[in-house]
Amino acid sequence: MSILVDRCTRLIVQGITGREGEFHARQMVEYGTNVVGGVTPGRGGQTVAGVPVFDTMRSAVAATAANASIIYVPAPFAADAILEAADNGIALIVCITEGIPILDMVRIVPHVRSRGARLIGPNCPGLISPGKAKVGIMSGQIHRPGGIGLVSRSGTLTYEIVNALTNRGIGQSTVVGIGGDPINGTSFIDCLALFESDPETRAIVLVGEIGGTDEEAAAEYARTAVTKPIVGFIAGLTAPPGRRMGHAGAIITGGTGSAQGKVRALEQAGIEVAPGPVQVAEIVAHRSLA
């Protein structure tokens, strides 16, 4: 098993005829993801990588019975793309687009949830269940099937840690990049709950960074609701106070959100925190968690 995506995923690529959309659609098809259609208004009837293109999500879902979508639509139009997917019965929506205004996300997130859908992102690398489905921009080559579930706010750190795990022969059940914006659709807690209930996932890696309080909330949740071992890593221990680093959400404000505070919260919850990305794999191997 895995979480969120697998061989039963039927994926629509919104923005498939754009440069990024077409490139990554081809990559996902080559990986083996079941990409059943794409959407670009005015391009209906075309094909990309053998995938039919539709003018609207309504027509795409009606023709393909899709249950997931991925969005490569420019920021000014991405909010409407998310809403169109949710309003047409898509259960899993993955938004790669960065730069969506926070006020748009304030409106979108509750609407998506009211439709019974799940949003991953925005401003995220997507997710992958190795050997089953790749939905996003992650490189399939560095992943291998296994028992480690990984959830991360940082795409780059995700790749580094996954590569370190794979180089040690440690595979992954599902790797989820939730994105680093202040408001996103899926939290650490959401993913911890899914990994906890997935019989294939034997241990969890949680990768956080400075800014916000999501990691602290995840630590408190894990203390009482997660029985599987967790290894953590927090980026930003050397970040200057008050300086935004990387993601829009990676800023320390009001005395909260520091890397030190997050590490302390995780350790108090019984979670071992690695000093660096490569050391995450070392801890997993040393503790025989895989």
- Residues belonging to the active site: 247
Task: Kindly give the pairing relationship between strand 126-129 and strand 172-177.
Answer: antiparallel
Where does 198-274 have alpha helices with state H?
Answer: 214-225, 259-268
Residue that is written with structure tokens 């300086």 in the block: 243
* Cβ neighbours for 168, distance < 8 A, ≥ 6 positions apart: 281, 282, 284, 285
* CA distances in angstroms from 229 to 50, 181, 201, 270, listed in the order given: 42, 27, 10, 9
